[in-house]
Structure formats: C-alpha cells, structure tokens
Structure 1
Amino acid sequence: MAIFVRSASLIKYSDIARAVGIDPICKVREAGLDPVCLSAPDLRIPEAGLASVFQESVRSTELRSLGVRIGEAWRLSDFGAVSLYLQHQPTLRHVLAEVERYRHMLSDSVSIRVADFGEVSLVHVVLVTGRPDPGRDIVELTVGAVFNLIRGILGAQWKARGVYFAHAAPESMRFHRPFLGPNVEFDSEFDAIALTREELDRPNPLGDAALARYAKELLDLRLPSRPASITDEVRRAIHILLPQGQGAIERVGQRLGFAPRTLQRQLEQAGQSFSALVNEVRGELAMRYLGNRHHTVSDIANLVGFSEVSAFSRWFSGEFGKPPTRWRSDYFADVARDDVNEAH
C-alpha cells in the first residue's frame, strides 16, 4: 500500500541539517523527492522517501538523534490546517481523538490509541509503514510531535509520567531527557506516552465550542475527507489490535463499525481477504519485533497471535525461508557489518 505523510517535518529537518553543514536539497533529491517539499509543509510525500532522507542524513555523527530533535521543534501549528480545530477541543482526550479522525490530512502512517489503566493513561503511537523497521528517527519524531501536542494543550509546565520506546537506547541521551524528561525508557513493548487520566480529561482552557465548530466547517470545506480504502483501514486496525491479542475479525470489525460478515464481504469486493491481511501484518510485525533484542522469540510469538512457539516457528519458516532465531542472528550480523563499514 502507498503510505504518504505531510512534508512539514522536512522543513524542520532542513534547518537542523544546514546547521551541521549538510545540504538538505541534495539529500531530498537522492531520496527521489522534489526539493520544493523543503519549503511547502502540506505536500503529501511517500513515507519511505522521508525515511530515506533521515537514514542517509544520520550517517553524519552530527545528526544523531535527528528524529527527537525535529520532534522537540514541533509545535501545535505544525499540524497544519487542523491546528485551530485541535486547539479548541474541550479536553486533551478529544484532541487525540480528532487527530485520529483527521489523520488523512496528517499522515497515513500514524495512529494514536488511548488506553486507561486506573488513574494512569497511555497514549500509544502506532506506525504503519510497510517496512519491517520504521526507523528510530521516524519513531522518535512522531512520539516527539505527539508529546509537544500534549504539552501545547496542557501547558509548558506539563511533565510526562513516562515516555516509552520499543527500540534500543541511543549511545547518548543528550537530546532525549532535556526534552522528554527523566522518565524515558527504551526496549519497551510499545511506543507510548504516559500521563494521568485527570490530565487527559481536564477541561482545556483554550477550548471554545463555537470556534471549534467554525474551524471544522472551514476544515471540511478546504480539505474534504479522503476516506482510506477498506483494505488500508483493516490493515491499520490489525497493526493496532494484533499485538494486544485482539486480531480476530470480530474485534477488527468492531473497531471499524462493521459486522464480521459485512467486513469480509467488503474485503472480497476489494479483492482481499481478512486472513491474507492478517498474514501480511503478522510478517511485518514479526520482523520488527525480531529486530529488537528485548523481545524473546516466545514473546514475539504471542505478540503476533500464536499460543505456541513451535507454531510460530513453522509459520515464520514458511514465510521467510528460515526459522526466526536464524533470521534474527542474520539480521544482527548484517547490522554489525553495516556499522563497521560506516566506521571506515
């Protein structure tokens, strides 16, 4: 599936790159993108192209932690046409729900899910990229942008209960802790931001129902909804629900507002099947988790919907031609080899 994102992050990337002597125009062209995206924030560009720009740029040691640095520079206004509408929502919970509702204007790649656990809530940030590894910088940029969105609503004094990343910790926390606070954890099971439930439901002092309605009217007039295909919506829902043990068609249908038979029929009309989509997403997630040393193969089997490791190993071998343990060892050998080549 084609996944597109707004070009706004490349404008901030451009400022950081130039500050360390990197030509952003050159990097953008190398990724097959039009340099105009360095000055126009609302262009839709391929997510893979953005990832390529970041990947090639961070080969320079001066641009380590590029993603979190862009996230730190993100402001509420950087959400573009939806910014005014978000600013006047009654609570942060409403803000996050509207980000999800209008994600077709922001990013095909990002989904936000809020989960309450007593007095604490987790804002999960889920990336659907079509690549086994979204990349550290893409993840940290997205989490950082959501973090600053929360701060924009709750105020500059707000501090997160915790910020969690599924990838491994960087060599230096020089940019992470001053921005995200002291409670940053890596090798987590998810990418998320923790805050109190009271903060999530606290009345927004900037909220104005009349202005929100006005902003929505302008928003819908200027940028009419471009609904995603049923295939893309189901694929996104599976990405979110499968690691929670809720990847059955009944739960996916419930999330999307369809009865299971109706959902299956719509997929068939689109030339797809639910089982094929589950298998596709399962493969993407399995490779993503295997690239994280924190997860055991047993953990991964459970996260992608297998109750037995042996069943997971048979399925993985059939899909990728080697058992998961072999795939993991080959993957980290390739990573080590790339690191040696970069060092020279």
Structure 2
Amino acid sequence: MRRGGPPITTGVLVSGVIAALRGRAIDPAPLVERAGLTGVDPARASADALPGAESMLAELAADAAGDPIFGLRLAEAVDPRDLGLLYFLVRAAPTLRDALSLFERFLPAANSGVEADVTASAGGGAIVDFRFLGAPRARLKHTVEYHLAMAVRVCRSIAAGPVNPTRVTFAHPRLESIDAVEQYFGCPADFDAGSDRIVLARSALDLSLIAADPRLLQVLSGIAEDAAAWSAPSRPTVRRAVGAALRRLLPAGEAKVESVAGALGMTARTLSRRLEQEGTSYSRVLEGLRTELALQYLSDGSFGERSLDQIASALGYHDIAAFSRAFRRWTGHAPSVVRDNPGLARGIVEAGERGRT
C-alpha cells in the first residue's frame, strides 16, 4: 500500500460482484465501466478499487440482478480468508472483544472506504458503528448491507460459540425482504435509522476464538502496524480539514471537537484517531490555528484595528480575559502589546516557523 496515495480497497467486494454477475450470465464489463473502475479486467478473479467506484459497482450489479438482498448474498459467497491480513489478525486474538478492537484499529488499512467505531454499551456489550467514505451514503444500500453482514460472518467464523447481534440498524430505508435481513443477522433490523450499526451482547464478546494464537497475533500485529502506517493519509490531510472547519466554526463559538467532527462527517473518536495517525491532536491543531489567526488579526493592516474583544470572539472565546490568558501562554506577551508592535508579531511568527523546520 502506498503512503499518502488515493484510497483503496482489497478488491474483495469487486471480485465478489463480478463472480456473482457471471454466475447469473450478466456481462460485468458495462457495469464495471459505468462504475468508473478503469483498468479492472472483469475476467480477473480479483482487483483493487477505489471505494466509491467499488460501491457504485455493487449497487449497479444489484439493480441488474434484480436481487433485493444482493449484499447479503455477496457476504455469504465471499471466503473470509480473501480479506487477507485483517482476517487472520482478528482470528488470532484471544476473544471476540479483542478481535473487535483489532478490527476497529486496522480496518482502514484494509479498506480505506470503511471505518468502524467500537464503543461499550450497557451490560458490557458493544456497539459497532460503521462509516462509509468515497460515495454519498444515500446512494449506498447493498454495499452497506454487505459490509455489516461480512463483519458478522467473520465473527461467526472465528468464535467458539454462536454469534448473533442483539440488533442491527441501517441508515437507508427498506420496504421489502426485511425478514430475510433479520434471518441473516438473527436479530431485529431497523431501517431508515440514521446509523449503520451492529449491537453485540457481552456474552458474544466474551467468547474465545477457535484459532487464538498469541505468537501469531504478535507477529501479525507488527505487520498490520506497518500496513496502517503506509496506508495512512498524507500528514496534512486531516489536519488541514480540521483547520478549515475551525475557521468556519470558531466565530460562532464552536470550538468543541464534537462540533468539528460532526462538520467533517465523523465521530470525535474517529477524528482523534485520524489526527493521532498524523502525529498531532485536536487540541494542538486548535491552539496552533488560534495562535496563527490571533497574530494575523493583531498585526495585519486589515485586522489591526479590531478591538481585542472582537478578536477574542472571532477566535471562539466568550470573553477577552480567556483570550488574553491563552495568548500569553502561546507567546509570552499580552495581546495589546503585540497589537501595538506589529514587528513583534512578525518576529513571533518567524520564530515559530524556524522551530518547525
């Protein structure tokens, strides 16, 4: 996998879609072309793909096949071993709870079009929320059902006992074959629910795994860490997105990580993890941007006449005292001193730039 390159998937879904179409005597070539999967040979058994194009192919194929549960059938047809490193890594964990933690950590390295957040639920269970990238969520149905069904199938294949969620939810609506979905997952399924989620009970999470292997887990974890590092987004990407969102939100007093994460379409936990992968944190990005903007407002001719309370408000502070304390911490000077000495502001900026080189 290439560091900083475009998002990719393992191609397992593409391969499964092509095999399913050929099994129904449907020529996959026109659909592959419509999905924008340039360079993918439909006759091949596997192919890498951009997440958005991969999802589009699955949706087009479901329509061509006229199959309302196309995604579930794909999950049944795919061999979990074809998922590669991720599958063998989670299989080597001691319990299903440990496997889910590894799944959350390393899923983006296997498929940059899907992210999962695993959080604790009442009674010691877990909620697994999925987020799909690369295509508008409103256009996805069978792709999402495939991924959730595949996650459950993997859990069932590695656990030393039965695994049935207590509930699954989907953000898209469904008017037919709901019973087939509930039969697959073995639990109630809610549609048009606002989230793509699997809920698991503590009894399932505590199950031991059939192929648990501490030594293999250690080896594969090291390989997975390397893969995650190579597949991580280029360093400025998420940080720049956070900065851009903060520039819009700060004047309204919205400096909380939850507000910025929501503006970027992810959870606060996912945003923190993505920033950590880039070697920074939300608080560091926020403080760095506030310092940059404060110095600009205090020294730039077009902002220099602003009163300090206006600047404090533009930076998301509710009062000038909080801004002044923060500014002193950043620069060692009072804001009024820097405002009255533009050369001092430029010197602080230049010193900061030298410190980053």
Tell me whether the two structures share a fold, i.e. TM-score over 0.5: yes
Distance 1:218 1:2 in 2: 21
Residue 213 of structure 2, aligned match among 199, 208, 212: 208
Match of 1:315 in 2: none
Match of 2:133 in 1: 128
Q: Are residues 241 and 38 of structure 1, via their aligned partners in 2, closer, same or farther at CA, if it must alter by over 3 Å? A: farther
Residue 49 of structure 2, aligned match among 45, 50, 60: 45
Distance 1:29 1:218 in 2: 34
Deviation per CA, 1:56-91: give whole Å up to 9, x if none: 323335333222221233443132133222210122
Match of 1:153 in 2: 158
Match of 1:59 in 2: 63
Within 5 A, what are the aligned runs for 1:1-344? 2-33=6-37, 34-36=39-41, 39-41=44-46, 43-60=47-64, 62-119=66-123, 120-155=125-160, 157-173=162-178, 175-217=180-222, 225-230=230-235, 232-233=237-238, 242=262, 252-253=271-272, 256-257=275-276, 258-264=280-286
Q: Contact 2:71–2:144 at 8 Å: present in 1 too? A: yes
Q: Contact 1:124–1:193 at 8 Å: present in 2 too? A: yes
CA shift for structure 1 position 138: 1.4
Q: Contact 2:130–2:197 at 8 Å: present in 1 too? A: yes
Gap runs ≥5 in structure 1:
269-344
CA shift for structure 1 position 144: 1.2
Q: Contact 1:5–1:47 at 8 Å: present in 2 too? A: yes
Query: SS in structure 1 opposite 2:21?
Result: helix
Q: Contact 1:47–1:129 at 8 Å: present in 2 too? A: yes
CA shift for structure 1 position 165: 1.0
Larger displacement relative to structure 2 (75-84 or 133-142)? 75-84
Query: SS in structure 1 opposite 2:119?
Result: strand
Distance 2:205 2:139 in 1: 28
Q: Contact 1:115–1:122 at 8 Å: present in 2 too? A: yes
Query: SS in structure 2 opposite 1:4?
Result: coil
Larger Rg: 2
Q: Are residues 25 and 154 of structure 1, via their aligned partners in 2, closer, same or farther at CA, if it must alter by over 3 Å? A: same
Kindly provide the amino acid, as one letter, of the partner of residue 59 in structure 1.
D
Distance 1:201 1:242 in 2: 32
Distance 1:18 1:174 in 2: 27
Q: Are residues 142 and 254 of structure 1, via their aligned partners in 2, closer, same or farther at CA, if it must alter by over 3 Å? A: closer
Match of 2:253 in 1: none
Query: SS in structure 2 opposite 1:58?
Result: helix
Kindly provide the amino acid, as one letter, of the partner of residue 122 in structure 2.
G
CA shift for structure 1 position 203: 3.3
CA shift for structure 1 position 200: 1.7
Match of 1:296 in 2: none
CA shift for structure 1 position 168: 0.8
Q: Are residues 214 and 64 of structure 1, via their aligned partners in 2, closer, same or farther at CA, if it must alter by over 3 Å? A: same
CA shift for structure 1 position 110: 1.0
Deviation per CA, 1:294-329: give whole Å up to 9, x if none: xxxxxxxxxxxxxxxxxxxxxxxxxxxxxxxxxxxx
Q: Are residues 266 and 111 of structure 1, via their aligned partners in 2, closer, same or farther at CA, if it must alter by over 3 Å? A: farther
Larger displacement relative to structure 2 (250-259 or 225-234)? 250-259
Distance 1:74 1:197 in 2: 27
Gap runs ≥5 in structure 2:
243-256, 291-357
Deviation per CA, 1:236-270: give whole Å up to 9, x if none: 99799539x9977x9944874444342347889xx
Distance 1:87 1:10 in 2: 23
Query: SS in structure 2 opposite 1:26?
Result: helix
Query: SS in structure 2 opposite 1:112?
Result: strand
Match of 2:339 in 1: none
Aligned length: 266
Distance 1:37 1:26 in 2: 10
CA RMSD of aligned residues (A): 3.8
Deviation per CA, 1:142-186: give whole Å up to 9, x if none: 111111122123257322211111111242236423322241221
CA shift for structure 1 position 210: 0.8
